[in-house]
A and B are shown apart, each in its own frame.
Chain A
Amino acid sequence: MRKIGILGWAETRARRNHRSRKAISTIMANLTMLVIVVSLSSLLFVWSISSFGAYTGGAGYWFSSRSIANQERPSVEGVFFSKTGSTNNVVTVFVRNVGAVPFTVASVYLNSTLYNIVLPQVGVSQVQQVQLTLSGQLWVKGDLQTITVATLRGTTTQTTWVP
């Protein structure tokens, strides 16, 4: 008859435990692989989310800004050359918005010389008058004057006029 008692059970348990340690490496390997896979998947997930977000943010900005900029059409429709006293130093430029969105004239170049302009927005189909007081150059009767108008969004238009 087999003895059953607390000591016998503990003896039997300890013997079995000792024998079962042979499989622990498999479990540890599985656990390790599981941790690696989960952590890498999480990293991949986080990276893809942030990448998609960054892409949509950048591309969205590009699409929207270029879409708006592409609808700008400044047109220099009139230029008058006048004097201060006897000095040929005043040029008045009329810029019309023939595009589909309002724009703001940021700068005007006369013969490659920059004149920074602070002007209100030009609405669609509206005309803005820009008066330049020349410095470092004068307009000359009969000379070709190249006028470039640039908007804040980077659209430029270039025209030539003869006083």
Chain B
Amino acid sequence: MRFYTRFVRAKKGMSTIFGALFFVILILMGFNLMLWNFAQFDAYNRVITTMGLSDQQRSAEVLTFNPPGIMNTGSPFNFTVNNIGGVTSTIARIYVQNLAPLNVGSPCQGATGCIADPNGITTFNNPNIKNGESFHVVKVTGIAIDNSGYRIVVATTRGNQFSFYFPWPSNLGGGSNSNSTNTAHGALDVKFDLNSFNFTRGTQTIPQQGWTVPYSTNVIWWVKVVNNAVNPIVLSKYTSLYFVCYQDRFGAGAGTGTCTETDLTYVVDNRTMNPGTIYQYDDVNRPYILPAAGPNGPTGTTTVKFGSFCPGLQTFDSNGNCVSGSPSPPQDVDFPTPYLVFMGFFYKVNGVIVGQTISFVAIRACATYPSCP
């Protein structure tokens, strides 16, 4: 009773107690918030660390393949792979796509190509490749592969893709295993031999060597080119031959009026046989496609024809300007004199537009053709 009485009379100290309690609650709440924040941030950092480690392992994956890529055609086929990365890799899927656009009937074309999956009918074995392992053989069952062009993409469980081409390209531009001489250093090349530069005139359908030609006569030039790159080449409509009568253009006779011309001759469609009927070059719907190189070098030669005064689907108007329309205007060389021929090739390879000049040949246009002493 006495204690109660004293407590009731001691009201003067209550505000201090309540104030203290109030601030203690506030401090505890702040502390609690801080702890909660730490816990959340710690959990977040743990995720970041885990995923960072995963990404690190992903970037440490490096697989390479060995020539000839696929060891045998048909089904099943094998290829070998080396793991030169820092972690063991597991192949999740193998995608095979046929790249040869004109190779109708070959396997692995269409919307889904061919897919080898561990759980599918088309499957493969030996998916685990230890780091440092070389010539690890993977056998793919269910896809009959042939010698047309394929891209094989090997996808790993960590989300990396490694690919190779079959047939295996033996050189990546500039190289050659041919007996003829290279004239260029880029993907596109002209093998210089007796039959690499020809022409037709009049109604000719069989070309003849173009080292000497008649002057002031419409001609179609036939040039054999090859593709050293591992990707197909698509020629642009601006591909052209540039004729310079060098004797007087660059020499002592420059400006004397004997020969002051240059001739630009654009690419024409490959249906063109002679200047009698020139088909305009449509690089969208009917382009020249130079097939990708194979394991033994370029895949054959492609004859590219030139003979138009204007590029692409153009003709010239009454003022001599190139305007849209047809027919394709012919081209010639106007003077009986030697010409240097520069070949300006514009093409698309692996999605990139490339310009390449091949300083290729010299020709002589003469008044006494076919006898040109």
Q: What residues make up the interface of A, taking CB atoms closer than 8 Å to B?
A: 34, 41, 44-45, 48-49, 52, 55-56, 59-60, 63, 66-67, 70-71, 73, 75, 77-78, 80, 82, 90, 92, 94, 96, 98-100, 125, 127, 129, 131, 141-145, 162
Contact = CB atoms under 8 A, between A and B. Distances in A.
Contact of A129 (B58, B112, B159): B112
A130 B155 CA distance: 17
23 contacts: A45-B22, A45-B26, A49-B29, A63-B40, A63-B41, A70-B47, A71-B51, A75-B161, A77-B155, A77-B159, A80-B111, A80-B113, A82-B110, A92-B111, A94-B93, A96-B93, A98-B58, A129-B112, A142-B231, A142-B349, A142-B350, A142-B351, A162-B350
Given A73-B159, A96-B155, A60 B95 contact: no
A78 B157 contact: no
A80 B97 contact: yes
B268 interface: no
Interface of B is mostly: mixed
B264 interface: no
A143 B115 contact: no
A127 B93 contact: yes
A129 B95 CA distance: 13
Nearest to A160: B351
Contacts of A162: 231, 350-351
For the complex of A and B, 3 pairs with smallest distance between CB atoms: A75-B159, A144-B351, A98-B159
Name the residue among A66, A92, A94 with the largest chain B CB count within 10 angstroms: A94
Contact of B47 (A34, A67, A90, A94): A67
Contacts of B130: none
A94 B95 contact: yes
Contacts of B93: 77-78, 94, 96, 127
Interface string B82-123: 000000000011010100010000000111110100000000
Interface of B: 15, 19, 22, 25-26, 29, 33, 36-37, 40-41, 43-44, 47-48, 50-51, 54, 58, 92-93, 95, 97, 101, 109-113, 115, 153, 155, 157-161, 231-234, 289, 348-352
A68 to B, nearest CB: 8
B348 A143 contact: yes
Given A82-B109, A82-B110, A92-B112, A67 B44 contact: yes
B51 A70 contact: yes
Name the residue among A41, A96, A100, A142 with the largest chain B CB count within 10 angstroms: A142
A73 B155 contact: no
Given A73-B54, A143-B348, A60 B109 contact: no
Nearest to A80: B113
B289 A78 contact: no
Contacts of A48: 26, 29
Contacts of A66: 44
B153 to A, nearest CB: 6
B113 to A, nearest CB: 5
A131 B112 CA distance: 9
A77 B157 contact: no
A64 to B, nearest CB: 8
Contacts of B101: 141
